[in-house]
Amino acid sequence: MVKIGIVGGTGYTGVELLRILASHPDADVRAITSRSDAGTRVGDMFASLRGHYDGLAFTAPDATDLKSCDVVFFATPHGVAMGEARTLVGAGVKIIDLAADFRIRDVALFEKWYKLPHACPDLLAEAAYGLPEFHRDAIRRARIVGNPGCYPTAMQLGLIPLLEAGAVDSEHLIADCKSGASGAGRKAEVGLLLAEASDNFKAYGVAGHRHHPETVQELQSRSATPVSLVFTPHLLPMIRGIHATLYARLTRPAVDVQALFEQRYASEPFVDVMPAGSTPDTRSVRASNVARIAVHRPGNGDMVTVIVVEDNLVKGAAGQAVQNMNLMFGLPETTGLTAAPVLP
């Protein structure tokens, strides 16, 4: 059994971790922290988990023995994990951070976008980027994994096969992406109120979004030519889901883009390349760790359109984190993650 601690377990990614780990045969959740809800039992906080974590209560971080865990998940705001990483890693504990502390390798770039000094740049240098489809071996060896953002997961899954093949103009990539409201976290904010977000659709972060440098970093690592990306996120009036529509101009017109994606992801358990002409929707992946991809070449011209859908809380966050944990501890990668999507 893997002894698990969760720091910051009262948000959407925290409760999603608990939901997934409740049916994981090798998971033993020993501790879960919350500064504001210490003493509250998990089943009292989240009625959906009644009967799964009897006896487990939230504890104050300072009163929690995380060093006795094998792995600690940080489902916290940016900056928390890096403040505790050195102590935990020094005690032999592995870390999976669902925030951004260990995603961006360039310290100056991280500090520019997140307005925080990095507390442990030496550990940042050794951290693995937690997108298994492209970093599986590094994740297996890692002491620290920076779990990708939800938007970056979708954009990378949709664009990297094209970049690896040198099949597109890498300097003119476009990502038109939409997310459900849970992507903003469990917080009180005017723009997320029912009366504000419902029956509405809007772009945000058009001038710049924190997921942009992370995505470009990873796309560039897979491209032989410079990468430039226009990324526009939007808020959809729904709870869960990412829908990314990606555009690129082909520089190799003879390439069979459908075959390219089918071959690239043939052995990937959580990437479903759909038949030609498909248009996957977000509810087809709801509550699952699967990303579905459809590839189009309108009019058989020189533009390729890639559609990627995922659940932002699962493959875009907690499910991917558990996928990483499985790799780090030598477990079958799919353990605890094979539940079918929820429909309707």
Domains of the chain with bracketed CATH: 2-147+317-328 (3.40.50.720), 150-310 (3.30.360.10)
Highest mean pLDDT among 10-14, 188-192, 318-322: 318-322
| Residue 46 and residue 15 in contact, taking contact as beta carbons nearer than 8 Å | yes
**Long-range pairs of 105-109 with CB within 8 A, sequence gap ≥ 24:** 105/217, 106/213, 106/217, 109/213, 109/217
Q: DSSP secondary structure string, 48-87?
A: GGTTTSTT-BEE-GGG--GGGSSEEEE-S-TTHHHHHHHH
Per-residue model confidence as pLDDT tens digits over 70-114: 999 999 999 999 999 999 999 999 999 999 999 999 999 999 999
HSE-CB of 130 using CA atoms within 13 angstroms: 36
pLDDT of the residue at 187: 79
Sign of CA dihedral 254, 257, 262, 264: positive
Active site residue 120: no
Per-residue model confidence as pLDDT tens digits over 269-307: 999 999 999 999 999 999 999 999 999 999 999 999 999
Rounded-to-integer distance, Cα 73 and Cα 319, Å: 12
C-alpha closest to that of 267 among 136, 141, 142: 136
Percentage of the chain lying above the pLDDT 90 cut: 92
69, 120, 150, 177: the catalytic one is 150
How big is the CA angle at 261 (ends 255 and 265), to the nearest 5 degrees?
A: 150
C-alpha closest to that of 72 among 85, 56, 62, 59: 85
pLDDT of the residue at 300: 93
Residue 185 has pLDDT above 90, yes or no: no
pTM: 0.96
C-alpha closest to that of 70 among 91, 45, 50: 91
Identify the DSSP state of 168: B
Detail the DSSP E strand segments found in the chain: 2-7, 27-33, 58-59, 71-74, 94-97, 128-129, 144-146, 173-179, 202-203, 229-235, 242-249, 271-273, 291-296, 303-310
pLDDT of the residue at 318: 98
On average, the pLDDT of the chain sits at 96
